[in-house]
């Protein structure tokens, strides 16, 4: 009975490991708001939990726990520990606990790969699955680039179409650079000719996909990893054909670099300066976070939550910036680790990789020529991790599910090669513990925690499903259905700040101002965003709570890309409060920002830009500065689009009437009617203009024309009544 149970658990583990290396990567759900990320994370955690259960069965059957000896084990647990313990001092318990729970499954994946891969056939199957999955993503990405995508039918252009089943082009390339070194390594193995041809094709397709994504950080990372792989491999006493292949490999690297340079002239180089300046803002904000809490950090998973606060501090040192970018990560894993877990967490993280390379180098040196396959594979795994670490300088692969799964698995797979060298577990590479009550209790606690953590993720997955239903209902204006689904989602994931934000924003659109403000205030506990502040400002302005409206619009203006709309909204608050000097001051600053944007070749055909002049002219008009108002509106006409000219002409006409330039005003209103013959406001203003110069018949004509369009128009009805009662008539 024990043997049959052990055999069953071993087969189940092998099957589940292969599933784990393929299914989460291709998983997505069109029925979820988060189409790609959350389905992958949920399926990944489910498979890890199943593998753990079968591993437990194996442990119980053997009555002992056998682990591969490695200092990486210790530092992986230390890294998990520092993230978990950061919950004690974090500024946001919910976000830190979620981040720590996710990390538990990644660290467990490392231990699974290190200890449950112990057969040559199993290793071969894993290599096939790794390469096949990467090849699938590459081919699918290339088809998407060619606009052949029956599944997602993305409306994105160029490189941004290459989303694979990951959702973003950068994520595809950051995953592929971990597999491409393994593909190169397999070219040195003794495999059938047709398989080697397929392998070469897979390399070409994968390289082409990485190039077309135009992700500069992955180009650098891949060149580094392949170059190191080639140089180190070339130092060994290999056969001549292998040395020739190494030279060919180096040529391939330089050809790849050349193609990358050619493609970069299209998008990457054009956006290079803006991208660099945007990253510098992110890094500067991260350094401010580190300065505040250098030793222990702000808590795992809190970078995005804290980013807007520190970005606003950075931007206070600048009068404006056009390089602000919405981010969820620091675009540098080392900075982010430092901000969240302090210098202690960063040291542990770096030590993890230091001991990985140290032990990997020792094992590589120990492998003799009869174990050439394992030595080449180990070198490719280490080269892939080097690429990951280089990419981590510019991006956040540790927070991208496909890249993170692959990285932690390769760490464990490298350690698992010890299982294949040492035969039966022995003192050299393994340590064994008899199953005693303490270990049994510990395993039980781990199992309970894993079940709880996965159930939390699954609840979030279900909440995300209802969130998508709510969003679809809102798009179709089915408000009751949308509210019902939002409430279902919040019952499952009540601490999701972003979910509260979307629900509150929808309530504002429904006119439920008080309820909307309540939801948005709840959202602030776990979510900060300029859209959130903007919506709160709009709601407070509608309630005439000017003090709060001003506060929230200022917060939005400090952290938003271009923040033109928010400065306009802030000026609108001042105009409504009749604080016209403040409004004019804000709008003049906004004009200066606009000038900088135009100098940066930002499109001027933007509604945000014309509203600057409309509000500035209105502020001048209300302050009695009529000449300034006239000049502002005339300037606006030089770049306003046709629909926008109607608004500007109407405002300019009113200014002319106040300046007693009635004929000029009439010209403005007539121009409006040429563009829109049913413009009620223009008819009403024309009536008022003619009334002012005592042409009562024409005044009556235009007011009646207004009533023919809208019989209940109060302005026209009032003016006609006034005309009838006027003694001048």
Count of C-beta atoms within a 10 Å radius of residue 250: 16
- What value does the CA radius of gyration of the chain take, rounded to a whole number of Å? 32
Which of 65-79, 214-228, 614-628 holds the top average pLDDT?
Answer: 65-79
Contacts of 273 (CB under 8 A, 6+ apart): none
Domain layout of the chain by residue ranges: 63-435
d(CA 37, CA 495): 19
Give 270's pLDDT tier (boundaries 50, 70, 90).
very low
**Burial class for 63, CB neighbours closer than 10 Å (0-12, 13-18, 19+):** exposed
**Token reading at 700:** 């009556």
Q: What SS3 state is found at 638?
A: coil
The model's pLDDT over 572-619, given as tens digits with 9 standing for 90+, comes to: 888 888 889 988 888 887 777 666 655 544 444 555 567 788 888 889
Which of 145-149, 283-287, 697-701 holds the top average pLDDT?
Answer: 283-287
Do 188 and 120 meet the contact criterion of CB atoms below 8 Å apart?
no
Q: Which residue has the tokens 């989460």?
A: 24
Give 426's pLDDT tier (boundaries 50, 70, 90).
very low
Contacts of 50 (CB under 8 A, 6+ apart): 12, 16
* Least confident residue range of 279-288, 449-458, 531-540, 571-580: 571-580
**Token reading at 725:** 């009662």
pLDDT value at residue 578: 86
Contacts of 586 (CB under 8 A, 6+ apart): 567, 570, 571, 574
pLDDT of 258 above 60? no
d(CA 149, CA 334): 36
**Token reading at 446:** 């781990």
Q: What SS3 state is found at 12?
A: helix
The model's pLDDT over 31-74, given as tens digits with 9 standing for 90+, comes to: 999 999 999 999 999 999 999 999 999 999 888 998 999 999 99
139-152: average pLDDT: 86
d(CA 165, CA 196): 26
pLDDT of 690 above 70? yes
- Conformational region of residue 301, where left means phi above 0, alpha means psi within -120 to 50, and beta covers everything else: left
DSSP letter for each residue of 16-55: HHHHHTTHHHH---TTSSSSSHHHHHHHHHHHHHHHHHHH
Give 336's pLDDT tier (boundaries 50, 70, 90).
very high
User: Between vectors from CA 720 to CA 714 and to CA 726, what angle results, nearest 5°?
Assistant: 130
The model's pLDDT over 519-540, given as tens digits with 9 standing for 90+, comes to: 999 999 999 888 899 899 889 9
d(CA 23, CA 698): 75
DSSP 296: T
Torsion of CA 493, 498, 502, 507, to 10 degrees: 70
pLDDT value at residue 600: 47
pLDDT of 447 above 70? yes
DSSP letter for each residue of 56-108: HHHHHHHTEEEEE--HHHHHHHHHHHHHHHGGGT-S-HHHHHHHHHHHHHHHH
The model's pLDDT over 180-195, given as tens digits with 9 standing for 90+, comes to: 999 999 988 888 888 8
d(CA 16, CA 10): 10
559-566: average pLDDT: 63
Count of C-beta atoms within a 10 Å radius of residue 296: 18
- By percentage, how much of the chain surpasses pLDDT 90? 49
This prediction's pTM: 0.84
In Å, the largest CA–CA distance within the chain is 114
DSSP letter for each residue of 443-479: HHHHHHHHHHHHHHHHHHHHHHHHHHHHHHHHHTT-H
Give 240's pLDDT tier (boundaries 50, 70, 90).
very low
Do 100 and 87 meet the contact criterion of CB atoms below 8 Å apart?
yes
d(CA 637, CA 510): 35
The model's pLDDT over 72-120, given as tens digits with 9 standing for 90+, comes to: 999 999 999 999 999 999 889 999 999 999 999 999 999 999 999 989 9
d(CA 573, CA 549): 7
Q: What SS3 state is found at 67?
A: strand
């Amino acid at each position: 009975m024990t043997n049959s149970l052990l055999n069953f658990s071993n087969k189940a583990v092998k099957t589940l490991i292969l599933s784990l290396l393929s299914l989460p990567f291709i998983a997505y759900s069109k029925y979820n708001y988060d189409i790609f990320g959350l389905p992958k994370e949920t399926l990944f955690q489910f498979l890890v939990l199943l593998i753990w259960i079968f591993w437990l069965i194996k442990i119980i059957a053997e009555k002992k726990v056998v682990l591969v000896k490695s200092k990486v084990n210790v530092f992986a647990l230390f890294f998990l520990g520092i993230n978990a313990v950061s919950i004690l001092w974090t500024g946001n318990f919910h976000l830190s606990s979620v981040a720590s729970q996710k990390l538990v499954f990644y660290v467990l994946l490392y231990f699974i790969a290190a200890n449950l891969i112990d057969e040559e056939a199993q290793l071969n199957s894993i290599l096939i699955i790794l390469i096949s999955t990467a090849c699938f993503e590459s081919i699918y990405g290339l088809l998407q680039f060619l606009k052949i995508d029956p599944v997602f039918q993305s409306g994105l252009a160029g490189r941004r179409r290459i989303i694979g089943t990951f959702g973003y082009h950068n994520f595809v390339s950051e995953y592929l650079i971990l597999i491409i070194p393994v593909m190169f390594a397999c070219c040195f193995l003794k495999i059938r000719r047709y398989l080697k041809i397929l392998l070469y094709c897979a390399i070409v397709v994968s390289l082409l996909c990485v190039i077309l994504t135009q992700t500069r950080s992955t180009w650098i990372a891949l060149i580094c990893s392949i170059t190191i792989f080639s140089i180190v491999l070339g130092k060994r006493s290999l056969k001549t054909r292998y040395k020739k292949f190494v030279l060919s490999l180096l040529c391939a690297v330089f050809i790849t670099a050349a193609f990358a340079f050619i493609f970069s002239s299209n998008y990457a180089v054009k956006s290079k300066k803006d991208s660099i300046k945007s990253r510098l803002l992110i890094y500067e904000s991260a350094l401010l976070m580190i300065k505040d809490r250098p030793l222990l950090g702000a808590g795992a998973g809190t970078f995005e939550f804290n980013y807007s606060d520190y970005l606003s501090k950075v931007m206070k040192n600048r009068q404006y910036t056009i390089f602000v970018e919405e981010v969820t990560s620091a675009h540098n894993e080392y900075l982010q680790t430092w901000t969240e877990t302090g210098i202690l967490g960063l040291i542990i993280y770096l030590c993890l990789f230091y001991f990985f390379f140290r032990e990997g180098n020792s094992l590589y040196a120990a492998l003799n020529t009869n174990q050439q396959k394992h030595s080449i594979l180990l070198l490719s795994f280490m080269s892939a991790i080097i690429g990951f670490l280089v990419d981590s300088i510019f991006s956040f692969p540790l927070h991208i599910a496909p890249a993170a799964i692959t990285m932690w698995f390769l760490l464990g797979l490298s350690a698992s090669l010890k299982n294949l060298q040492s035969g039966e577990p022995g003192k050299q590479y393994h340590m064994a513990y008899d199953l005693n009550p303490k270990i049994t209790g510990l395993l039980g606690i781990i199992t309970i925690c894993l079940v709880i953590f996965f159930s939390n993720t699954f609840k979030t997955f279900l909440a995300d499903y209802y969130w998508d239903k709510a969003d679809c209902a809102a798009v179709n204006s089915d408000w009751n259905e949308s509210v019902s689904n939002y409430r279902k989602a919040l019952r499952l994931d009540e601490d999701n700040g972003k979910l509260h934000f979307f629900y509150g924003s929808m309530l504002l659109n429904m006119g439920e101002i008080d309820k909307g403000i309540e939801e948005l205030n709840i959202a602030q506990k776990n979510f900060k965003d300029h859209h959130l502040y903007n919506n709160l400002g709009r709601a407070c302005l509608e309630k005439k709570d000017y003090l709060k409206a001003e506060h929230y619009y200022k917060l939005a203006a400090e952290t938003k890309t271009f923040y033109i709309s928010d400065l306009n909204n802030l000026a609108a608050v001042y105009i409504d409060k009749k604080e016209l000097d403040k409004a004019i001051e804000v709008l003049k600053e906004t004009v200066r920002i606009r000038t900088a944007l135009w100098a940066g070749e930002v499109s001027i055909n933007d509604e945000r830009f014309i509203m600057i002049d409309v509000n500035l002219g209105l502020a001048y008009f209300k302050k009695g500065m009529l000449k300034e108002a006239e000049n502002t509106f005339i300037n606006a006409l030089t770049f306003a689009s046709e629909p926008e000219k109607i608004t500007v002409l109407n405002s300019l006409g009113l200014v002319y009437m106040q300046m007693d330039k009635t004929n000029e005003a009439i010209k403005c209103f007539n121009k409006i009617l040429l563009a829109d013959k049913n413009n009620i406001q223009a008819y009403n203003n024309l009536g008022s203009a003619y009334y002012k110069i005592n042409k009562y018949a024409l005044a009556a004509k235009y007011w009646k024309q207004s009533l023919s369009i809208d019989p209940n128009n109060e302005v026209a009805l009032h003016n006609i009544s006034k005309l009838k009662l006027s003694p001048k008539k």
